[in-house]
Structure 1
Amino acid sequence: MFETGSLYERFKLVSNINPELLNRGILHSKLIRSKMAVDSAKEAIACWEKAVQKERDGSMNDAIKFYREALKTHEDVEKLYRNKLLEEYSLHEGLGKLQLKQSGSEEKFDHDNKERCMDPCWLLNILPNDILARIVHFVVLQSGESWLQLSLTCSTFNHLCFHETDPYRTFAHLIYPKQCYDQTSLSLNGVSNLQVLEDNLWGNNYPQMLKKRPYVKFEGLYISVVNYLRYGANENGSRSWINPIHMITYYRYFRFYPDGRCLRLLTTDEPSLVVSHFSIDTPPKNSELCHWSLGFDHGFGHLTITRSSSKYRFVEELQIKDQGFRIHQRLKWLSSIIVDKEGEVTECSMKKEKPFFFSRVRSYVSAS
């Protein structure tokens, strides 16, 4: 009887609540849930973007961790991320069309709906081609990137940059004297004057020389990203039948200097943590100073990097190769050996190693 009365009293108390207050409470709870869902979506998208950046850097282990965290936060995070990219692209495209419409309306207003042709470049009309060619010459001396950017400005500069011999000759005379060739290899091949060999092989065909004759680049870093799986073991007392799997990621860095020196680093640090201070003047921790030289094998593209310690001498051999349309952009492993004091040679396994790819760094241009 007491329990029945208690339930009755509770029902009576609830039935006396103002319906308006009850609706407000329900609405407030819905708003709270909606806000929590929005915050959860934002957090998941931010985590997904971190994962994408880690994947671009080659840190697959961290990328997987952030992907999992994002999926735990919101199961449809990939769809939300794609929608965000689509909205940003649509907004950017819409702004571009709006600017075109505004410029078109202003032009019509200023010129009474008459079509207006673009004014020709007065500089190209005033200066003769000889002066423009000298401009191209000094731009090429700055960097290859400046050469390319100048060629994209107009058809006149494009013709002067890529349809004349002088820019190619200037660039060849800029980069090839900085290459360090192995003197032993020169002697074995009976080459006493490298200039004579160049004339015999390519003559004045400098575009063909730049395309076929590899060279080491100094305006950036060569980076190799290595990912591999390592199988672990379960803890003592674990009943799991599945062994854990670890994804290992590490990076190799090479920075070459025209004087024959090379800075080498093997680390787990990502490029964003290494590039800014990777220099002989400020060498990172655990970096090693090496020496490099080019040989005649593989069409002048045989690169040898050596370093020594108190007990061993390390010799790494690579080949300069193209990466698609980017010439001399990649370093392919050939071998890596260790020579002790007695002359005994030990070959290192190349099974897990990956090729190096050149990445240009603006702050290195002036130093090279």
Structure 2
Amino acid sequence: MTDNAELESFRRKWREEVARRTKPNKPAPAQPRPSAPSTSRAPTQLPPAHHEALERKEVDDEETPAALDPGEIVQGVSQLSLQRPDEDGFDSQAHRKEPKSALEHFERAVEKEAEGNLGDSLQHYRKAYRLDAAVDKTYRNKHFAWAWKKNAQVAVPSTNATPASQQSHDEPDLLPTPELIASFANLPIPQADSLVEGTPPPPCPIANVPSEVIVEILRHVALMDPASFSRMALVCKRLAYHFAHEQHIWKRICQGSEFGFKAMHYSFACDIYGRTEHTLGSRFTPFPTSIPAQIPQPLSSWSEVFQIFPRIRFTGIYISTVNYTRPGAASAYQNISWNSPIHIVTYYRYIRFYRDGSVIYLLTTEEPLNVVPYINKENVKAARPSSKKQHQRQNTEGGTTVKGASDPVPPVAMAALKYAQLGRWRLANPAPTPDSEDTPTDLGPELPSVPGKTASENTLDPRDVIIEAEVISPDKYVYVLHLSLRSFSAANKPGSKIAPPNTPKNTKLAWKGYWSYNKITEEWADFTLRNERSFVFRRVRGWGMGS
């Protein structure tokens, strides 16, 4: 009771003082108004406790009564414990109650981060997410919901607005993409700007070339490099029209063996060393040229087929970067566990695919810049100790020159390629139609079923890739890698077989299984994939260009 009485007394005196100082003083009519002193008067109201001015030691107490000394005011305010601190206009940060809920911790963390106190901010963030994993959404709904409501009100037109006012505020109608591209058909190819102001622009010979010749040029460019063909669409609107409209060029790419699906293998076409196996009958392809090829549903154009349909890329390499931590050995002279080192282990997995159905698989700690330019069959065979007599090599001071190669291979790359593994690859059977060519025959050993999954879940997906790589005893064992083609985009939904638009397609290989297969006993040994990461495609200049 004594504490409450003192608190109420202090609050009453404080309100009286604030009311007295804020009330204007009426001058006496019989006395003349004194002249204003040269010094400034004290402010009519003290700043809030959370204002930065309180941290400055510049206090103007000219008219502060002795009964309400600033030190006593601060001490009294520090003892306040109210349900609503904003009632008196004070909000002391130093003596606020500690946050308890996840939202309070998150709000305190935002305040600390704005102040630059990252240590305390991180602690409050951790406590907030431990209490509620979705606390950031709660924070946005509380503090930024007004912005969403405002945008929603702007987007929804008023029912009382007249058609003229609605038309004035509405944005201009946008043409659909097909109609917009079709409008580029008759546009000329623009000339380049003048190099010097006031002089005529340089000539543009292709501006006067007929459309038939332009289409033929684009077809040759597409067969040389589809990426260059795509970049030509950025030159001008006329070329963008041909890029989207000439679907026969995309059909030729899809049916060809340069970059299309005729180079895809749905059964193993070679042995584990890359030697071609002669099989009877023609090889299966999903879009044969002997019969009319149909665009698979739900795709609508051959350009979409080339971009979205499962396809291995030969113009680069797939790289998986793995990072993990492990505890190091403690010092022999100290028995302190907190002083034990933590090691960060980094290693890389490389996969390079070839059109003949062979593959190179490499696990090493060497960075891509040191080893990727030299990953090819010739260097792998030359790096093996057993191939010294088969391949003529010349050791130079800068590295090893392999027969048939122009540049020497650095010793670091040769040491890493010594452990490279040859193998073969195939895509999963895409369920060919009865009218298509011969179905795949050599599919290798049937992959083991995953416990706990149904038969339909254990069946191969059309995006799956199977790789068989050699081991120390290739006559008895073989490594089997089960991967799946994906698009490198965070917007992909689980289970969605078609990536969203405007994202790179078939640029990622996700792990689905990794085993060692015993050919004699037909037993499978499973490798753990706890630390493994997906393979990401990286293009290498000069690879797969017509070779």
Q: Does TM, scored on the shorter chain, surpass 0.5?
A: yes
Structure 1 residue aligned with 2:540: 361
Q: Given residue 250 of structure 1, which amino acid in structure 2 is its aligned partner?
A: Y
2:482 match: secondary structure: strand
For 1:192 and 1:229, locate their aligned partners in 2 and report how far apart those are by CA, in whole Å. Answer: 45
Rounded to whole Å, the distance in 2 between the matches of 1:105 and 1:179 is 47
Q: 2: CA distance between counterparts of 1:259 and 1:218? A: 11
Matches within 5 A, 1:234-273: 234-242=330-338, 243-273=340-370
* Counterpart for residue 429 of structure 2: 296
With over 3 angstroms needed to count, the CA separation of the structure-2 counterparts of 1:206 and 1:313, relative to structure 1, is same
> What is the CA-CA distance between 1:245 and the residue it aligns to?
0.6
User: What does residue range 338-353 of structure 1 map to in structure 2 within 5 Å?
Assistant: 338-340=516-518, 341-353=520-532
Give the corresponding residue for 1:201. 296
Question: 1:365 is paired with a residue of what secondary structure?
Answer: coil
**Aligned twin of 2:456:** none
What is the SS of the residue equivalent to 1:138?
helix
Residues 233 and 367 (structure 1 numbering): CA distance in 2 closer, same or farther, change over 3 Å? farther
Structure 1 residues 105 and 344: CA distance shift in structure 2, 3 A: closer
| Alpha-carbon contact 1:133-1:160 (below 8 Å) kept | yes
**TM-score, reference length from structure 2:** 0.43
The equivalent of 2:479 in structure 1 is: 314
After superposition, the Cα gap between the structure-2 partners of 1:197 and 1:264, relative to the gap in structure 1 and judged at 3 Å, is farther
Question: Is the 8 Å Cα contact of residues 428 and 465 (structure 2) preserved in structure 1?
Answer: yes
1:64 matched to which residue of 2? none
Distance 2:476 2:195 in 1: 77
In 2, are the aligned partners of 1:140 and 1:170 still within 8 Å (CA)? no
Measure, in 2, the Cα distance between the counterparts of 1:264 and 1:197.
37
Residues 140 and 193 of structure 1: is their aligned pair in 2 closer, same or farther, counting only changes over 3 Å? closer
**Residue identity in the other structure for 2:215:** A
| CA RMSD, Structure 1 to Structure 2 (Å) | 2.8
Give the counterpart of 2:234 among 152, 163, 167.
152
Structure 1 segment 207-218 matched on structure 2, within 5 A = 207-218=303-314
3-state DSSP class of the match of 1:282?
helix
Q: Deviations over 1:48-103 (max 9, x none)?
A: xxxxxxxxxxxxxxxxxxxxxxxxxxxxxxxxxxxxxxxxxxxxxxxxxxxxxxx9
CA–CA distance in structure 2, aligned partners of residues 353 and 343 of structure 1: 26
Q: 1:354 and 1:122 mapped to 2: Cα distance?
A: 50
Distance 1:248 1:342, change over 3 A: same
Question: What SS is found at the alignment partner of 2:469?
Answer: strand
Maintained 8 Å contact 1:213/1:299: no
Q: Structure 1 residues 228, 165: CA separation in 2 closer, same or farther (over 3 Å shift)?
A: same
Quote the residue 1:187 is aligned against: none
Q: List runs of 5+ in structure 2 lacking aligned partners.
A: 1-192, 270-282, 381-416, 431-459, 490-502
Following the alignment from structure 2 to structure 1, what is the Cα–Cα distance between the partners of residues 292 and 525? Answer: 35
CA distance in structure 2 between the partners assigned to 1:227 and 1:147 by the alignment = 37
Cα distance, 1:201 vs structure 2: 2.9
* Counterpart residue identity of residue 231, structure 1: P
How far is 1:229 from its partner? Answer: 0.4
What residue ranges of structure 1 are gaps of 5+ in the alignment?
A: 1-102, 185-190
Residue number in structure 1 paired with 2:261: 176
State the Cα distance separating 1:350 from its structure 2 match: 1.1
Task: Give how far 1:260 is off.
Answer: 0.5
- Residues 1:250 and 1:214: Cα distance change in structure 2 (over 3 Å): same
Aligned in 2, Cα 1:138/1:261: closer, same or farther, shift over 3 Å? same
Q: Distance in 2 between matches of 1:292 and 1:299?
A: 15
Instruction: State the secondary structure of the residue aligned to 2:238.
Output: helix
Q: 2:295, 2:301 within 8 Å by CA — same for their partners in 1?
A: no
> Residue 256 of structure 1 contacts residue 263 of structure 1 at CA under 8 Å; is this kept in 2?
yes
1:330 aligns with 508
Structure that is richer in strand per residue: 1
Task: Report the number of matched residues.
Answer: 252
User: Could you tell me how far 1:128 is from its partner in structure 2?
Assistant: 1.1
| Moved beyond 6 Å, runs of 4+ | none
Q: Specify which of 297, 302, 305 is matched with residue 467 of structure 2.
A: 305
Hey, what's the Cα distance between the residues in 1 that align with 2:244 and 2:478?
45
Cα distance in 2 for partners of 1:226, 1:204 equals 38
For residues 217 and 344 of structure 2, the distance between their equivalents in structure 1, rounded to whole angstroms, comes to 52
CA, structure 1 residues 229+204, in 2 after alignment: closer, same or farther (shift >3 Å)? closer
What's the counterpart of residue 233 of structure 1? 329
State the SS of the aligned residue for 1:166.
helix
> Contact between 2:315 and 2:539, CA under 8 Å: does it hold in 1?
yes
Q: Is the 8 A contact 1:222 1:357 kept in 2?
A: yes
Question: What secondary structure, in the 3-state scheme, does the structure 1 residue paired with 2:369 have?
Answer: helix
Aligned to 2:248: 166
Per-residue CA distance 1:197-255 (angstroms, 9 max, x = gap): 95273598312322431100001100000000011121212243322110000000000
The structural deviation recorded for 1:144 is 1.6
DSSP 3-state at the match of 1:177: helix
**Larger of the two Rg values belongs to structure:** 2
Alpha carbons of structure 1 residues 210 and 105: separation in structure 2 relative to 1, 3 Å: closer
- Over the matched positions of the two proteins, sequence identity in percent amounts to 26
| 1:319–1:334 CA contact under 8 A, matched in 2 | yes
Q: CA deviation at 1:121?
A: 3.6
Quick one: which amino acid aligns to residue 513 of structure 2?
S
SS where residue 230 of structure 1 aligns? strand
Among candidates 280, 287, 294, match of residue 377 of structure 2: 280
Structure number with greater CO (CA < 8 Å, separation at least 6) is 1
Q: Give the helix-richer structure, 1 or 2.
A: 1
Read off the aligned partner of 1:262 and give its amino acid letter: V
- Give the deviation of 1:193 after TM superposition: 7.0
Distance verdict in 2 for CA 1:367–1:245, change over 3 Å: farther
Which SS does the other structure have where 1:247 is aligned? strand
CA distance in 1, matches of 2:249, 2:295: 21
